[in-house]
Amino acid sequence: MMWISRSRLRFDLSSSIPKYHPFLSNPSSLSSFGSHTQTPLLEDHYVHQAVFQFESMIRTRPVPPMYEFGKILGSLTKMKRYPTIIFLTKQMEIKGIHHNLVTLNILINCFCHLSQMTFAFSIFGKIFKLGYHPTVVTLTTLMRGLCTNGEVRKALNFHDKMVAQGFRFNEVGYGTLIQGLCHIGETNAAIQLLRIIEVRSIKPNVVMYNTIIHHLFIDGRANEAFDLYSEMVAKGISPTIVTCTTLVYGFCILHHLQEAIDFINEMISNNIRPNIYTYSILIDALCKEGRIRQAKNVLAMMVRAYVKPNIFTLTSLMDGYYLVNEVKNAKHVFNLITKLGVTPTVHSYSIMINGLCKSKKVDEAMNLFQDMHKRNMVPDTVTYSSLIDGLCKSGRIAYVWDLIYEMHDRNQQPDVITYTCLIDALCKNYHLDKAFELLKTMMEKGIQPDMYTWNILIDGMCKGGRLEKAQEIFQDLLIKGYPLDVRSYSIMIHGFCKKGLVDEALSLWSKMENNGCLPDAIAFEIIITALFEKDETDKADTFLCEMISRGLLKS
């Protein structure tokens, strides 16, 4: 699972926006003004105070120094109140108060964040008109705005144009461009830019390397990512926790889990403390491979380092326990979530409900589902599909339709998995017409069945005595170029054999091999059994020898 979000590796360009001291006169509020930790109510209070103070200042004569206006606008910038800033600057202009470069930079930043790049560049033009000289902050802010709004090519053109006019960018600007290129999948261009800036005497920093390394892993180019890491270290650039976490992720996607564990130990020995993300990535990878004991060891290491597990860590462990059928331990972890003061998510409930259903503990799954309602949590499509599948497989299909109606009421639309579960249940109960009607409904809603859905339907038709219908569906899929797999062919071959139509089964067998779909052990067993039942021993022996030669016969 890709757990390091792209935003974690994105360089924080907040440093490119001028920092101002809060304007409030109350000393106790200075340290907290503009803090993202404030409650919305408290933050709104500060905004109202800021607006009141600003409007008082624009009416004051003589007009206060521009840096006083900059203080307020800077504080509002920290709170991301971009429309408010634009409104206040317009009021300032109406009163005939002229901008300085700082306030113009703030305005550019606001328009960039609001995806209004035309206005941002209009302010840029105003900077020249007023005789100011754009700073690296101005240029980087505009370039970041273009990249954030998906206009990376324009950002590159803007960079080239500014350089041609004698302007220079620093590592923050180039980090922005590298991030933008990586974000649109142009990792090679990002590497090329990394090489170019070295020639221009701009020293690449760890953020640039982190970004490219991360995206190389996303592109499946792990070896290049590790080489770039080695290059970075060789140049004396110290890895950060983000770098190391990215490397751990790389080891995990390559399934080199022991190397990931060793790397974490190496981090600790080099005084780089793994964080919650580092540990959780590894725990998740170990759990997905059923290596629960090692996952628990990493969890213990994490706790000893005073790193508190989060919901992702615990959900991964819970999922891992279900994978190895340790239901009791999975339930213990789920109960531990609230005890540790961690808020359970819809995903964690979905994991539990799915695990309990697969363990045939549908009543317990239903109880958990009700618990979600009590907590005012809205189950998602995955939660509903898991419970619907459990109810269908336990023969309680009557309860399912109420869940389908509830899904619609809660605006949670059934997906291909939901419909496939229902079609499977209808087929197993020989409600074949209803199953086929449900398939039509599903397709009318724009949800395309996958091969798993088609296989269930074909199998249901074969077992329900509708061989001709099954054959019609199968042929239609074949003509339309669907990726029929060995399971699809085996179902149809088995359907022919059950009806005593062995010649038709053999004909389909030939077609299967001609289409490049190799039969597996189950397919061989179906055809061999049918041939023996028809006393066609010689043909059966031929298939048996072929099965052995392909190494498909279990010893």
Q: What pLDDT band is residue 2 in, cutting at 50, 70 and 90?
A: very low
Find all residues with CB under 8 Å of 485, minimum gap 6, and list them: 451, 455, 517
Report CA 319 to chain centroid distance, whole Å. Answer: 18
Question: In angstroms, rounded to a whole number, what is the distance separating the alpha carbons of residues 98 and 92?
Answer: 8
pLDDT band for position 38 (50/70/90)? low
Residues ≥6 apart with Cβ < 8 Å to 138: 101, 104, 105, 108, 124, 127
> Which amino acid type is present at position 195?
R
- Region 204-219: mean pLDDT is 93
Please identify which residue in the block is written with the tokens 């309680």.
396
Which residue, chain included where needed, has tokens 């080695």? 230
- For 66, other C-beta atoms within 10 Å of its C-beta total 16
- Chain segment 116-125, per-residue pLDDT in tens: 999 999 999 9
**Which of helix, strand or coil describes residue 519?**
coil
Predicted confidence band at 33 (pLDDT cuts at 50, 70, 90)? very low
Domain 344-413, CATH: 1.25.40.10
Confidence category of residue 331, pLDDT binned at 50, 70, 90: very high
Average pLDDT rounded to a whole number, residues 141-151: 93
Report how far residue 420's alpha carbon sits from residue 488's, in angstroms, rounded to the nearest whole number: 15
Q: What is the pLDDT of residues 422-457, one digit of tens each?
A: 999 999 989 999 999 999 999 999 999 999 999 999
Rounded Cα–Cα distance for residues 228 and 222 (Å): 10
Q: Are 468 and 486 in contact (CB under 8 A)?
A: no
**Residue 26 burial (CB < 10 Å; 0-12/13-18/19+)?**
exposed
Question: Dihedral angle at the C-alpha atoms of 494, 498, 503, 509, nearest 10 degrees?
Answer: 0
What's the first-to-final CA gap in the chain, in angstroms?
36
Q: Please answer whether residues 141 and 108 qualify as being in contact, where contact means their C-beta atoms are separated by less than 8 angstroms.
A: yes
Task: Determine the pLDDT at residue 4.
Answer: 32
Q: Which residue has the higher pLDDT, 25 or 434?
A: 434
Check residues 176 and 33 and name the one with the higher pLDDT: 176
Q: What is the pLDDT of residues 314-326, one digit of tens each?
A: 999 999 999 999 9
List Cβ neighbours of 246 (8 Å cut-off, separation of 6 or more).
4, 9, 210, 213, 214, 217, 225
Q: What is the pLDDT of residues 49-104, one digit of tens each?
A: 888 888 889 888 898 898 888 899 999 999 899 999 999 999 988 988 989 999 99
pLDDT in tens, 366-376: 999 999 999 99
Hey, where are the domains in the chain?
344-413, 418-423+431-484, 495-554
Q: Read off the pLDDT of residues 465-481 as tens digits, 9 standing for 90 and up.
A: 999 999 999 999 989 98
Which value, in Å, is the radius of gyration of the alpha carbons in the chain?
31
Residue among 439, 443, 479 at smallest CA distance from 461: 439
Q: Is the pLDDT of residue 214 over 70?
A: yes
pLDDT of residue 199: 83
CA atoms lying within 13 Å on the CB side of residue 391: 22
Q: In sequence order, what E strands does 87-246 have?
A: none
Q: What percent of the chain has pLDDT over 70?
A: 92
Cis peptide before 414, with omega less than 30 degrees from 0? no
The amino acid at residue 17 is I
User: In this predicted model, what pLDDT tens digit does every residue of 497-530 receive, in sequence order?
Assistant: 999 999 999 999 999 988 889 999 999 999 999 9
Q: Are 100 and 69 in contact (CB under 8 A)?
A: no
What is the pLDDT, as a whole number, of residue 60? 87
- pLDDT at position 90, please? 92
Is 42 a residue whose pLDDT tops 90? no
Q: pLDDT by residue (tens digit) across 181-194?
A: 999 999 999 999 99
Amino acid at the residue 366: M
| pLDDT in the model for residue 43 | 78
